[in-house]
């Protein structure tokens, strides 16, 4: 094997290795930061519990009675 052929094989092999490395790197998914979504989800859960409490207060029969008394 001549020197030129060895150099050509080494160059082709290094180019193929570089292409394979880039291909593998682009296929991997980057990490996703979900902390803003988790914060909004916890806020939404807090608001949902508050609405449930307010619904319980408003639908209570005593609330209607207080409203009627205040209306007199």
Please give the pLDDT value at position 67: 72
Please give the pLDDT value at position 42: 93
* Domain residue ranges of the chain, discontinuous segments joined by +: 1-30, 34-72
Please give the pLDDT value at position 63: 66
> ∠ at Cα 53 (48, 56), nearest 5°?
125
Task: Give 10-residue mean pLDDT values along the chain (72 residues).
Answer: 88 94 85 87 94 82 70 68
Please give the pLDDT value at position 72: 65
Q: What is the rounded CA–CA span in Å between residue 70 and residue 62?
A: 12
pTM of the model: 0.45
């Amino acid at each position: 094997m001549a020197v030129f052929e060895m150099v050509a094989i080494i160059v082709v092999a290094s180019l193929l290795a570089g292409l394979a490395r880039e291909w593998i790197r682009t296929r991997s998914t980057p990490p996703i930061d979900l902390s803003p979504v988790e914060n909004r989800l916890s806020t939404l859960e807090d608001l949902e519990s508050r609405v449930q409490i307010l619904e319980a207060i408003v639908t209570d029969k005593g609330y209607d009675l207080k409203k009627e008394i205040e209306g007199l």
